[in-house]
Amino acid sequence: MKKLVFATHNIHKLREIRQILEKTNFEILGLNDIGCLEEIPETQPTIEGNASQKSFFVYDKYGFNCFSDDTGLEIEALNGKPGVFSARYAGEGASFADNIRKVLAEMNEIENRKAKFKTVISLVLDGKEFQFEGIVEGEILTFERGNDGFGYDPIFLPKGFDQTFAEMSPQLKNIISHRGMATKKLFEFLTQKICEK
Ligand code: IMP
């Protein structure tokens, strides 16, 4: 079985991706499995750049084929912000609640509520990079709704649905979400790679 590293320290993300990629016949390892205990730098100005930086970091330093993901919320009226700063929009160490508060304050009295979540997965196989993108369009509500999920889920209403990401079941969110779509593309690519052999 070919080994493939998922550049994350998060065991929940790792468990989820292992289930999704089970049928590809790649053995999915986490950063801890390869002795990478350091934080990987994410210093690029774009989501694509950060995803790329993480997977090349592992490939170059540890010598493993690798993939990584990076996600951001892009709000049209805020010129694409918080974007690459989504995790730390209200400052270094900000909580999800702090970030939501900042977005809602900035969106106060703004009529254009259009926003999208974007996930980019960067896969580096034998030094060559492939990227897979997942986008879900929607709008930013004026107040929070729902208790599930994480991050900006309570204020994000995906287009065509009447439940926020924090109100819908995790199963439904996984199917329609940015991350779900990008992961599906990765799955299809890896499945095809195996068939080519
Ligand atoms: P990451 O690249 O997956 O670490 O995501 C960066 C940040 O984007 C997170 O800290 C969250 O604030 C936000 N985010 C990513 N995915 C989601 C999601 O599915 N729902 C809500 N917020 C998200």
Q: Is the predicted pLDDT of residue 193 greater than 80, yes or no?
A: no
Assigned token pair, 159: 């287009």
Average pLDDT, the chain: 95
Residues annotated catalytic, as ranges: 70
Assigned token pair, 109: 């009295």
In this structure, the strands spanning 128-140 and 114-125 are antiparallel
User: Is residue 34 lining ligand 1, measured as CB closer than 6 Å?
Assistant: no
DSSP conformation letters of 34-47: GT--SPPP---SSH
- Residue in 6, 84, 152 to alter for ligand 1 test, most ligand atoms within 8 A of Cβ: 152
Q: What percent of the chain has pLDDT over 90?
A: 87
* pLDDT score of 23: 84
Give the torsion sign (CA, 39, 43, 45, 46).
negative
User: Is residue 165 lining ligand 1, measured as CB closer than 6 Å?
Assistant: yes
* pLDDT score of 6: 97
Coil, helix or strand at residue 58: helix
Q: What is the mean pLDDT of residues 105-110?
A: 97
User: Is residue 119 lining ligand 1, measured as CB closer than 6 Å?
Assistant: no
Give 15-31 pLDDT, tens digit per residue: 888 988 888 889 999 99
Domains and CATH numbers, the chain: 2-196 (3.90.950.10)
Q: What percent of the chain has pLDDT over 70?
A: 98
Q: Is the predicted pLDDT of residue 195 greater than 80, yes or no?
A: no
Q: What is the mean pLDDT of residues 78-98?
A: 97
Give 160-176 pLDDT, tens digit per residue: 999 999 999 988 998 99
- Tell me which residue of 192, 190, 129, 196 sits closest to 3, measured CA to CA: 190
Residue 82, preceding bond cis, omega within 30 degrees?
yes
pTM here is 0.94
Assigned token pair, 23: 């049928």
